[in-house]
């Protein structure tokens, strides 16, 4: 039984992580840390026997603590993860793994030196849906991938009526739509097509001020510092490409979350069901014969997973982490993949400023 600790007990912890952790038979949450004492206490109260901490060093010294899940704000991920690794804890970090590629690579080396598992969200490729897509591509049934088209586009957390935290950080220069939601699409397209070779992007701030619509911060004005429209092109080599929209300035859309076009067919994932880890896929099969026996198969579900309950896309992160620690799965959400996506995200900003395509150096 893995003894888990939670670092950061904010909105995402209560809404997305705790309901999953309460169902995992191979893990027990024994400690919860937050700088706000009430949040730490409320989190610990959900797990029998768990202790609440507001001092990080004391939390890491909790007796028998094996592994931690880092749910702190994005700018803090690297330093929080580094301290946990130095304390001998396995780590699952929320995205992004760090702010700089050098810091991410240092974390990877530290985890190897310590003999520890380091995984990073988002959990896209660990979901039953994307595992099945990978198997389908490997089978050759729909040919070879040539183009992925994806979008993660909303008005951002200030307009999410179910969000209970302060959304200001999401519009800061350190976050923005690429880091917060575009990262899902970037993990998906690189998870399916492999490491990208070049990136080119355009972006700007379309709506410079936001008003929080709901929750305890309703009415608060937020000045937007990060580009809220970002258009991204990726070159994977061998005439394989992807285009991704990451935006906090789109009121709504009926466009798919992602479509993958192959030489023998197309896969389409509905944006309204994106966060379902076990969701359906629409598949179009091409027929190269004169008979023309081709068309869409809509609402196709992958075979049911055999690892127990089904979760949301986010929920498959901790579920996969725990199963890896128990020796039941091989790591999919690797720190190397997360570092490649981090390099893409950082060079997106460089490409916008420089107005040109930039080569990528990392791989996974």
SS (H, E, C) the chain: CEEEEEECCCHHHHHHHHHHHCCCCCEEEEEEECCCHHHHHHHHCCCCCCEEECCHHHHHCCCCCCEEEECCCHHHHHHHHHHHHHCCCEEEECCCCCCCHHHHHHHHHHHHHHCCCEEECCCHHHCHHHHHHHHHHHHCCCCCEEEEEEEEECCCHHHCCCCCCCHHHHHCCCCHHHHHHHHHHHHHHHHHHCCCCEEEEEEECCCCEEECCCCCCCCCEEECCCCCEEEEEEEEECCEEEEEEEECCCCCCCCCCEEEEECCEEEEECHHHCCECCCCEEEEECCCCCCCCCEEEEEECCCCCCCCCCCECCCHHHHHHHHHHCCCCCCCCEHHHHHHHHHHHHHHHHHHHHCCCEECCCCC
Task: Please tell me which residue in 3, 89, 95, 347 is annotated as part of the active site.
Answer: 95
* Active-site residue, 95 included: yes
Which pairing describes strands 118-120 and 240-247: parallel, antiparallel, or unpaired? unpaired
User: Where do we find the tokens 């285009």?
Assistant: 243
- The residues carrying an active-site annotation are 95
């Amino acid at each position: 039984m893995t003894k888990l600790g939670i670092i950061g007990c904010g909105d995402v912890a209560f809404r997305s992580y705790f309901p999953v952790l309460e169902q995992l038979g191979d893990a027990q949450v024994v400690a919860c840390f937050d700088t706000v004492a009430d949040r730490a206490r409320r989190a610990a109260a959900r797990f029998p026997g768990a202790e609440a901490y507001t001092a990080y060093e004391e939390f890491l010294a909790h007796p028998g603590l094996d592994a931690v899940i880092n749910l702190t704000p994005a700018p803090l991920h690297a330093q929080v993860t580094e301290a946990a690794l130095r304390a001998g804890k396995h780590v699952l970090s929320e995205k992004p793994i760090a702010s700089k590629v050098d810091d991410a690579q240092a974390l990877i080396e530290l985890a190897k030196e310590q003999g520890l598992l380091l995984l990073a969200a988002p959990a896209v490729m660990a979901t039953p849906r994307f595992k099945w897509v990978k198997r389908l591509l490997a089978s050759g049934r729909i040919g070879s991938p040539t183009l992925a088209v994806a979008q993660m586009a909303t008005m951002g957390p200030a307009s999410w009526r179910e969000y209970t935290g302060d959304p200001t950080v999401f519009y800061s220069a350190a976050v923005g739509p690429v880091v917060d939601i575009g990262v899902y699409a970037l993990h998906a397209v690189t998870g399916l097509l492999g490491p990208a070779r070049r990136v080119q992007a355009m972006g700007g701030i379309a709506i410079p001020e936001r008003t929080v619509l709901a929750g305890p911060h309703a009415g608060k004005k937020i000045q937007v510092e990060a580009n809220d429209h970002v258009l991204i092109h990726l070159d994977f080599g061998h005439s394989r490409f992807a285009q991704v929209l990451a935006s906090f300035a789109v009121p709504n859309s009926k466009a798919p979350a992602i479509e993958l076009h192959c030489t023998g067919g197309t896969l389409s994932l509905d944006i309204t069901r994106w966060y379902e880890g076990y969701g359906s896929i629409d598949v179009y099969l091409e027929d190269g014969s004169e008979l023309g026996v081709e068309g869409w198969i809509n609402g196709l579900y992958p075979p049911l997973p055999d690892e127990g309950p089904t979760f949301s896309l986010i929920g498959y992160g901790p579920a996969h982490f725990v199963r890896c620690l128990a020796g039941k799965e091989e790591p999919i959400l690797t720190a190397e993949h997360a570092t490649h996506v981090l390099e893409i995200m950082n060079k997106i900003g460089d490409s916008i400023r420089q107005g040109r395509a930039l080569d990528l150096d990392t791989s996974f």
